[in-house]
Amino acid sequence: MNILTSTILISLAVCCLVMLIIYAWAYRIKNAGVVDIFWAFNFSIIAILLYFLADGYEQRKLLICAMVLIWSLRLGIYLLIRVGSHLDVEEGRYKKMREEWGASVNSKLFVFFQAQALSNIYLAVPFFLAAFNKREGLSLPEYAGTAIWAVSIIGEAIADAQLKNFKKNPANKGKVCDVGLWNYSRHPNYFFESMIWVGYFLVALNADYGWLGILSPLTITLLLFRVTGIPLTEQQAIRSKGDAYREYQRTTSMFVPWFKKK
């Protein structure tokens, strides 16, 4: 077994163990939403393991591990504060899952939690590629990827802060957040999240089989557009805000936060 394979297996085992522990906690408190927090934090674990186990070019390894660690901790802490503020109240999408899964909800949630660990490893493909890349020096795509990542992580943090501040104001209860970046895009946070993963792909592109790194941004964008991101968020927004959100849909871009519709 080579060092790359062993590092992947160690990372998978640790992520699965984390999700097993979190599943037990979620079962006890009856709130599956905590899985989101530790899905994000699992990437910090992967970054730390890669830094100590990977044998790629040191500067590149340090770069990709730092990028992943910063992003993972920022997102994980943000989710910890958001979900942790209402542990006694489960988020709507997880309530819906419980309703749909019925009596088999606990077993299906166990599989769901472990699937999140698997997704951690699958999405970490560009991290493994970059950390094990032994080519000396950084290429133009790697510099471009780092720049895109930096702009995007700042943009996502701004969007999250604007939404948080809007929700904190009691006068905005039941209203649609349309301030700052949210005035131009219904999901600026998701846009910048997808671009963060484009940055990771570009940093991995110079590695052998670096093109495989495109799977991560494509998967993240597909999930955001078609599965767990925009569809569920907008369904919940329409249920809770009705015509106000439909008007917001009519006048704003779904994804790219660059323009306001007439």
Query: Per residue in 58-95, pLDDT tens?
Result: 999 999 999 999 999 999 998 999 888 888 888 877 88
The C-alpha atoms of residue 39 and residue 71 are separated, in whole angstroms, by: 12
Distance CA 224, CA 254 (A): 11
Please check the confidence at residue 148 and state whether its pLDDT lies above 60.
yes
pLDDT of residue 175: 85
Can you read off the two tokens belonging to residue 203?
């940093």
* Dihedral sign of CA atoms 157, 93, 86, 172 in order: positive
Tokens of residue 86, six digits: 């209402």
What value does the mean pLDDT of the chain take?
90
Per-residue pLDDT band at 1 (split at 50, 70, 90): confident
Please give the average per-residue pLDDT across 109-119, as a whole number.
96
For the chain, percent of residues with pLDDT exceeding 90: 63
Query: What one-character-per-residue DSSP string does 160-179 give?
Result: HHHHHHHHHSGGGTT----S
Give the C-alpha separation, 197 to 220, whole Å.
8
pLDDT in tens, 3-24: 999 999 999 999 999 999 999 9
CA gap 116, 85 in Å, rounded? 22
Does residue 260 have a pLDDT over 70? Answer: no
Q: What is the distance of C-alpha 241 from the center of its chain?
A: 25
pLDDT digits 0-9 by tens, 175-234: 888 888 988 888 898 899 999 999 999 999 999 999 999 999 999 999 888 877 777 788
Q: 259 falls in which pLDDT band (50, 70, 90)?
A: low
Angle at 81 between CA 16 and CA 105, to 5 degrees: 45
In this prediction, residue 258 carries a pLDDT of 66
pLDDT score recorded for residue 187: 87
User: 253 pairs with which residues across the strands?
Assistant: 185
Q: How many CB atoms lie within 10 A of CB 216?
A: 22
pTM to 2 decimals?
Answer: 0.90
- Distance separating alpha carbons of residues 39 and 15, to the nearest angstrom: 9
Compute the average pLDDT of residues 158-186.
87
pLDDT for 262 beyond 60: no
